[in-house]
Amino acid sequence: MKTLIRIGVFLWVSILFAGCGIGGFWMNGNPFLTPVTPYLHYWEKPRMTVESRMEDWVECGGASNGNFSPRIDKVKNERRPEEKNNWAAHDRLWLSLISCMKAKGYRYVASQQ
């Protein structure tokens, strides 16, 4: 019986230590230290200012922090009765934002290096 308990403790400790720090994000340091670039910064337009870009972004449905996170009531209003979840409605709002920004003369740049 003591042998079974020792084997159980050994396996439990092995699994515990095997799961801590092996692979994943943490092998190269804390992944959350790198700041995330808001979606807004990937849109360019000739002769635009930071303020005008933010105004256009918010008018098109983007959030005032530069990201895209529509309020849940907007998503629910966009949702169709046959849809089982909010993903399609969220996607339609995202596509609406994209077409609005393009209509205002902006173009999307995939990366800013």
On whether the pTM is more than 0.75, the answer is: no
Q: Are residues 28 and 51 part of one domain?
A: no
- Check pLDDT > 80 for residue 19: no
Q: What is the pLDDT of residue 96?
A: 94
Q: Are residues 43 and 4 part of one domain?
A: no
Q: Are residues 44 and 8 part of one domain?
A: no
Q: What is the pLDDT of residue 30?
A: 66
Q: Are residues 90 and 69 part of one domain?
A: yes
Structural domain that includes position 28: 1-34
Q: Are residues 75 and 110 part of one domain?
A: yes
Q: Are residues 42 and 30 part of one domain?
A: no
Q: Are residues 96 and 50 part of one domain?
A: yes
Number of domains in the chain: 2
Considering the chain, what is the average pLDDT of its residues? 83
- Per-residue pLDDT, averaged over 80-92, amounts to 90
Buried b (16+ CB within 10 A) or exposed e, 25-57: eeeeeeeeeeeeeebbebbeeeeeeeeebbebb
> What is the distance between the alpha carbons of residues 96 and 11, in angstroms, rounded to a whole number?
53
* pLDDT tens digits, one per residue of 50-66: 999 999 999 999 999 99
Q: Quickly list DSSP for 20-46.
A: SSSSSGGGGS-GGGSPPPPGGGGEE-T
Q: Are residues 27 and 45 part of one domain?
A: no
